[in-house]
Amino acid sequence: MPDTHRILIADDNAANRELLEAYLAAVDCEVETAVDGQDTLDKVASFAPDLILLDVMMPKLSGFEVCRKIKDNPETARVMILMVTALAELGDIERAVQAGTDDFLSKPVNKIELLQRVRNMLKLKGTADELERLRAYIREMEDQAKPAARPATEAN
């Protein structure tokens, strides 16, 4: 498990990014920011976050599109996504869930609620990562326990 979690804040509004970054000062984490949908995907590739705080309404690609691309990619599917948006209609929540978001938080963001959700999501991510490591270890042990293939003997 990493010493420090990595959180990516994806929002096209600088004030929102700064506010979320200030709130996250209470969490032991490394923070990176992205300014639009494409920048978010680029940062996911280079920064490898554990969690993304993802705005929905962004230039280039919407948060829904970004979420879908991340969750559809086997290499990034386990990244946790918390959609943080001013959109709060039931249809928006349904679209977020269909896109694959792990949780949904409406703006204006309540600091205590945000921090609790972030901490819970990071715990869940850590547990999921540990489970995957254990599965890989078990597969490795099973592979080692299989008898070696015997060479074919020639019949006279």
**What's the CATH number where 126 sits?**
3.40.50.2300
| Domain span at 58 | 5-144
Within a domain: 132: yes
What pLDDT score does 8 carry?
Answer: 97
Q: How far apart are CA 34 and CA 43, in angstroms?
A: 7
Q: How far apart are CA 3 and CA 100, in angstroms?
A: 27
Within a domain: 75: yes
Annotate 69-119 with three-state secondary structure.
HHHHCCCCCCCEEEEEECCCCHHHHHHHHHHCCCEEEECCCCHHHHHHHHH
The model's confidence at residue 1, banded by pLDDT at 50, 70 and 90, is very low
Q: What is the pairing mode between strands 51-54 and 29-34?
A: unpaired
Within a domain: 152: no
* pLDDT, averaged across the chain: 89
Residue 57 has pLDDT above 80, yes or no: yes
Domain count, the chain: 1
Within a domain: 98: yes
Give me the helix-helix angle, 63-72 and 90-99, nearest 10°: 30
Within a domain: 55: yes
Residue 59 has pLDDT above 70, yes or no: yes
Instruction: Report the percent of the chain where pLDDT is more than 70.
Output: 90
The model's confidence at residue 3, banded by pLDDT at 50, 70 and 90, is low
Within a domain: 100: yes
Number of Cβ atoms within 10 Å of the Cβ of 55: 28
Within a domain: 151: no
Within a domain: 155: no
